[in-house]
Structure 1
Amino acid sequence: MVERFNEDFIETRRKALHRFLNKISEHPILSFSQHFNVFLTAQELTSHKKQGPGFLSRMGETVRSVANSVRGLKSRPEEFTFMQEYVEDFSSKICSVDKVTQRIIKEQREYLDELKQYGPVYAQWAGSEKDLGEPLKAVAGCVERCSKETEENNQHLSEVLAPALHEYILCAETLKTVMRRRDNVQAEFEAKNEALASRKGEQEELQEEVDGLSDRMEMANDALKGDWSHWKKSMRSDLRSAFISTAEKNVDYYEKN
């Protein structure tokens, strides 16, 4: 199976997996997950694969989510409204930075291709010129150094900054999904509460459902608030490290060129 892929592809995936596992191991809840333990220790995973919900179950979940989104929330707590707005703004900005980064990487690769073509041309030209031989050799050497530094700088962008940006683009999308699920739980809780007030004959059965939804909503709120502080701390540390490393590499690149 592995033989189908080249070494660069395998190494990129290996680094990504290593980073992902480190993230899980640092998480206060996920690090104790039985699934994480199985992934690290099981000799084969076939017998441990979780059976996903059936088609009808998934359809039912989708229908409930759509109904809840149409119904809407009466009043989302202010702290979760702040989180929602923060994530939307963060997602927009990090996507813009990623697009700029990808454009820089593309332009640097094109520039690198040109440098690799020019270097040998100047070296060959120097061999056929008496008076201009040495200056042309110097130019060829300069182009070769620029080519080497550009390649290193581009590699740094591709291996350090770009993966960090992509990771937090995905994190932002995951957070949006988690917040939608929290809102769905709250919307379902509010709907059951309304039903409880209007249906006198089904009070006991509805009360059990309302109590269960209340517990689910409280658990969802606590989990989201706990993960929120952990995520912000991790995000600031990772992106700060990636941006500082990139800035230092750029300073070094322009000093050498």
Structure 2
Amino acid sequence: MEQAPPDPERLLQPAPLEPLGNPDAGLESVVVEEADRPRDEGSGDGTMTENNFWLKKIEISVSEAEKRTGRNAMNMQETYTAYLIETRSVEHTDGQSVLTDSLWRRYSEFELLRNYLLVCYPHIVVPPLPEKRAEFVWHKLSADNMDPDFVERRRIGLENFLLRVASHPILCRDKIFYLFLTQEGNWKETVNETGFQLKADSRLKALNATFRVKNPDKRFTELKHYGDELQSVISHLLRVRARVADRLYGVYKVHGNYGRVFSEWSAIEKEMGDGLQSAGHHMDVYASSIDDILEDEEHYADQLKEYLFYAEALRAVCRKHELMQYDLEMAAQDLASKKQQCEELATGTVRTFSLKGMTTKLFGQETPEQREARIKVLEDQISEGEQQLKSKNLEGREFVKNAWADIERFKEQKNRDLKEALISYAVMQISMCKKGIQVWTNAKECFSKM
């Protein structure tokens, strides 16, 4: 007795997700630990095995930035910034320490690396790069991408990106990432030879999938909405912070006016002069401190910006799932159509209008031999289509399982990082307010001694 073929409609339903931990544990339910992963896990030829996997044994840093002038692809002169990546061993080999290795990379090379990771690891929330041009900054801070302060902040962001990738249990094993840290010449050619661009999904197809998927997975739909809301909330928070920083800058600089007035006043007072001069000095010191304070505050803003850009990485995983679901539904629809054609040929009845059916009525019926040949072709196509549908369904289930494990890892990381950043920002504000109180306390003492 032949086994009944799988129902295409059943295969289209989202796969049930196996529990990855305590379902009531929220964002803390899953943490992917390096020691718990198999040593050869990865993605094809791009992944290193235990024999040549050594990223966990080295330190990575982007130690400096350098302004350079060169020629671009159109042979036009351009000015750009290059970043020095240094790697050094934290272990000894045969009693001797491995020497520090270093090479220079442009921002565009970091972009190429990330694009490669996005295509080759679509189920992973790939760490974002720091912004290419400054956004959400207070008005006294330059938005020029060649400004030394901005370049320094971007250097820190690029180092953080490399450390994020190096600490990821899967991405850290990628051969292209390894070569990014160790091979300066011909690295771009090596990346392009992988053919990863051919695997990239077109934007038109992604847009088509977004609007035409009939059975979207509710979990990924909710995750997509969460990414949108996360981006909206952090954007609003950064805009508020920039406005507060502008106002705070004005308040501090007004203290400079106090200092100037007290100093001028002290020149015409004999008994009160020393007290006024001292109070003016405290005001001047306080006013001049705001520049350093707000520049330090930008580093906390950059930590928030990282998760602003992480929101897009979350949506990229959701878009990939939509594409896979769309391909699955199209394959099921094509299979159902071929089964209907085969049934119509076998029974001689036509359920729906078709050009073939109209042609048959106009020009006569097919011979039995022709009909049998068409049925045989359709049966072969149906058999192939069923195998493809099974394959796509298994691929989709594996994607969901791997993607959700990485999303849980990301959520745990996000909670930890944002909690630390917000606490540090609050502590900084408290310290800043205490310094303001101390300034006026010192001024009060100066006035009391007059």
Is 2:213 the counterpart of 1:72?
yes
Q: Percent identity?
A: 23
- After TM superposition, list the pairs within 5 Å mapping 1:195-234 onto structure 2: 195-200=334-339, 201=378, 202-234=381-413
Please say if residues 223 and 314 of structure 2, whose CA atoms lie closer than 8 Å, have aligned partners that are also in contact: no
Residue of structure 2 equivalent to 1:23: 164
Structure 1 pair 215–122 and aligned structure 2 pair: CA distance change class (3 A):
farther
- Kindly provide the amino acid, as one letter, of the partner of residue 312 in structure 2: E
Instruction: Give secondary structure in 2 for the equivalent of 1:74.
Output: coil
Residue of structure 1 equivalent to 2:434: 255
Structure in which a larger fraction of residues adopt helix: 1
- Kindly provide the amino acid, as one letter, of the partner of residue 256 in structure 1: K
Provide the C-alpha distance between the structure 2 equivalents of 1:118 and 1:104, rounded to a whole number of angstroms: 21
Provide the C-alpha distance between the structure 1 equivalents of 2:259 and 2:386, rounded to a whole number of angstroms: 79
Please say if residues 118 and 143 of structure 1, whose CA atoms lie closer than 8 Å, have aligned partners that are also in contact: yes
Provide the C-alpha distance between the structure 2 equivalents of 1:221 and 1:235, rounded to a whole number of angstroms: 20
**Range that drifts further, 14-23 or 139-148:** 139-148
How far apart are residue 158 of structure 1 and its match?
Answer: 0.8
The normalised TM-score by structure 1 is: 0.84
Residue of structure 2 equivalent to 1:111: 251
Please say if residues 149 and 253 of structure 1, whose CA atoms lie closer than 8 Å, have aligned partners that are also in contact: no
**Range that drifts further, 100-109 or 162-171:** 100-109
Q: Which runs of 5+ in 2 are unaligned?
A: 1-65, 69-78, 80-145, 340-377, 437-450
Instruction: Give secondary structure in 2 for the equivalent of 1:2.
Output: strand
Structure 1 pair 194–46 and aligned structure 2 pair: CA distance change class (3 A):
closer
Provide the C-alpha distance between the structure 2 equivalents of 1:224 and 1:166, rounded to a whole number of angstroms: 23
Provide the C-alpha distance between the structure 2 equivalents of 1:120 and 1:36, rounded to a whole number of angstroms: 56
The normalised TM-score by structure 2 is: 0.51
Residue of structure 1 equivalent to 2:278: 138
Is 2:316 the counterpart of 1:177?
yes
Instruction: Give secondary structure in 2 for the equivalent of 1:130.
Output: coil
Provide the C-alpha distance between the structure 2 equivalents of 1:65 and 1:43, rounded to a whole number of angstroms: 34
Structure 1 pair 91–8 and aligned structure 2 pair: CA distance change class (3 A):
closer
**Range that drifts further, 143-152 or 33-42:** 143-152
Residue of structure 1 equivalent to 2:189: 47
How far apart are residue 136 of structure 1 and its match?
Answer: 2.3
Provide the C-alpha distance between the structure 2 equivalents of 1:120 and 1:20, rounded to a whole number of angstroms: 46
Structure with higher Rg: it is 2
- Report the number of matched residues: 252
Provide the C-alpha distance between the structure 2 equivalents of 1:31 and 1:155, rounded to a whole number of angstroms: 32
Provide the C-alpha distance between the structure 1 equivalents of 2:392 and 2:255, rounded to a whole number of angstroms: 64
Residue of structure 2 equivalent to 1:35: 176
Residue of structure 2 equivalent to 1:2: 67
How far apart are residue 199 of structure 1 and its match?
Answer: 0.8
Deviation track 1:168-202 (CA, whole Å, cap 9, x = no partner) reads: 01001221122122112112212211221221322
How far apart are residue 235 of structure 1 and its match?
Answer: 0.9
Provide the C-alpha distance between the structure 2 equivalents of 1:16 and 1:248, rounded to a whole number of angstroms: 22
Structure 1 pair 107–212 and aligned structure 2 pair: CA distance change class (3 A):
farther
Residue of structure 1 equivalent to 2:326: 187
**Range that drifts further, 203-212 or 189-198:** 203-212
